[in-house]
Amino acid sequence: MASTRVCLWFLFMIITQVVGEDIQSMIMSLTINSKFQCANTTYLPFINIITSNIRNCQLACLTQSQCRAATFHRSTSNCELFDNILNQNGNMLTDVDATSMDVISGARFLSEWTTTGNMNVARYIHTVSTLANGLVLVTGGYNLSAYLNSAELYNPSTGTWTTTGNMSVVRAHHTASTLVNGSVVTAGGTSSGRYLNSTELYHPSTGAWTITGSMNVARKDHTASTLANGSVLVVAGQSNGSVYLNSAELYNPSTGTWTITGNMSIVRYRHTASTLENGLVLVTGGYNNVTDYLNSPELYNPSTGTWTTTVNMNIARDYHTASILANGKVLVTGGSNSGGALNDAELYESI
pLDDT tens-digit readout, 102-153:
887 655 555 567 899 999 999 999 999 999 999 999 999 999 999 999 999 9
pLDDT > 70 fraction of the chain, expressed in percent and rounded: 86
CATH of domain 11-103: 3.50.4.10
CA distances from 71 to 61, 62, 168, 172, 328 (A): 10, 13, 52, 46, 19
Whether the predicted pLDDT of 8 surpasses 80 = no
- Averaged pLDDT for residues 56-80: 87
pLDDT given for residue 25 in this prediction: 37
Taking the alpha carbons of 77, 79, 347, 261 in that order, is the dihedral positive or negative?
negative
**pTM, 2 dp:** 0.71
Between 40 and 127, the more confident residue is 127
Region of 170 (left: φ > 0; alpha: ψ -120 to 50; beta: rest) is: beta
Provide long-range contacts, Cβ within 8 A and 24+ apart, for 208-215. 208/165, 209/151, 209/165, 209/166, 209/167, 209/168, 211/168, 212/185, 212/256, 213/251, 213/255, 213/256, 213/257, 213/258, 214/258, 215/187, 215/188, 215/249, 215/258
Whether the predicted pLDDT of 298 surpasses 90 = yes
Mean pLDDT taken over the chain: 87
pLDDT tens-digit readout, 159-184:
999 999 999 999 999 999 999 999 99
- Averaged pLDDT for residues 278-300: 96
Indicate the pLDDT class of residue 346, thresholds 50, 70 and 90: very high
**Spatial contact of 156 and 109, defined as CB atoms under 8 Å apart:** no
**Spatial contact of 68 and 84, defined as CB atoms under 8 Å apart:** yes
Whether the predicted pLDDT of 91 surpasses 90 = no
SS (H, E, C) 254-322: CCCEEEEECCCCCCCECCEEEECCCCCEEEECCEECCCEECCCEEEEECCCCEEEECCCCCCCCECCEE
pLDDT tens-digit readout, 196-211:
999 999 999 999 999 9
pLDDT given for residue 285 in this prediction: 98
Indicate the pLDDT class of residue 63, thresholds 50, 70 and 90: confident
